[in-house]
Structure formats: structure tokens, C-alpha cells
Chain A
């Protein structure tokens, strides 16, 4: 059973459109992170959220942590081809393990 479920698995949209990807779990996490991975490289951290209900913005990217700290969302406004990549959420619980979701593969068409 996957601890962190990401949806959608794949998303292909036109440049300029908005999109939201989701990371859901039945478990509570002490913090949740979003990473982006380019082909042939390791993931790179975008943001960490730690407080239930927290919202963080990174230019056109908005990250939200659910009130119960079980889910998170990533919203991209006016997507650009440079946003193309694999987006991974990762959760930390109290057992020293950081668990990743399967990822959302995003493709922005010019």
C-alpha cells in the first residue's frame, strides 16, 4: 500500500494554463516536502510545509498543507515549458523515514 498517493500520475497541458497536483495520505506527517526532478538528475527540493493549513508561495507555485497534515497540493499558475518535470511529494513521520509518493509527471506544451 502506497503511503502517499499522488494524482494525477501524468498531466499534459498547454502553456499558460493553471494546474493542481495532489498528494494524499491516511497518515499524519510532521512535515511534507515537494521536489522536482529533471531527467537524469536527482530530485531538488522546492518547499517544505510543516503547519496544518500552511500555504507557501514560490513565484507561480503555491503549496498548501492540509489542516490535518495528511495531504498537500501544488498549484501552478500560468504554466511554462520550464515547469516540465517529475513532481514528487515526500512525507516525514516520527520514525526517521522519509517516504516519497510515486510522482506526477508534468508536461507543458509550448
Chain B
């Protein structure tokens, strides 16, 4: 099993550009989520999904869109990149969301810089 994979690993964008961060998991997990990590801020939840076709907002959803057409994939779209979106982005998955004993498996992260 590859676990949770994220692409690209690094990305530089100009203000106003759009892009999609890819996330895939091969563990048949229902729950997937996107976090951003900034210095001194820990991990902040952007969007999450409890299953294919179902998504919801986290703590910091503005400027980001998600969709979940399959169980395996959960892409994160930046519609018009802003310097404030410079961050490290982590995708995570777990078997069944927030239930007890649910371990979240994290991808290696995407380091995004917006100029």
C-alpha cells in the first residue's frame, strides 16, 4: 500500500493563479481531510469529507474548493492564489472519521509558495 500520496511536493504560484493539489489514498478510507500548517499555528482544518459525494467546511475554508467524486481521491483547488495561502498543505485519511480509535494517516505534504 502506498498510503496517502500528495502531489506536487513543491509548488510556486503567482498571485491570482489557480491550481489543484492532488491527494489519493489506497486504504479504502471513508474520511479524508485537508489541513494547512503555518509556523506557530499547528494544523488548521480546511475542508473534510466523510465519504464520496460529501464534503464540508473546516476552520479555514475561504479561498479553497474541494470535491470527492471517488473514495480514493480528494483534490484541493485554489481558485485565485493569494500570498496568505503560502503554507504547507497536508492531506489525511482515516477509516471512519472521528470515531474512537480512528487513526488519521497523513500524506508527506505539499509546500506551496504564492508570490
Contact = CB atoms under 8 A, between A and B. Distances in A.
Contact of B106 (A42, A48, A94, A97): A42
Nearest to A100: B43
Interface residues on A, range: 20 to 34
Nearest to B109: A42
A98 B100 contact: no
Interface stretch (B14-22, B44-52, B64-72, B75-83): B44-52
A93 B98 contact: yes
A97 B58 CA distance: 7
Interface residues of B, number: 29
A44 B42 CA distance: 14
Interface of B: 4, 31, 33, 35, 40-45, 48, 50, 56, 58-59, 90, 92, 97-104, 106-109
Interface of A: 6, 9, 30-31, 33, 35, 40-45, 48, 50, 88, 90, 92-103
14 contacts: A31-B102, A33-B104, A41-B108, A42-B106, A50-B101, A88-B42, A92-B99, A96-B31, A96-B98, A97-B45, A97-B59, A98-B33, A98-B98, A103-B42
The 4 closest A-B CB pairs, nearest first, are A42-B106, A92-B98, A102-B42, A100-B43
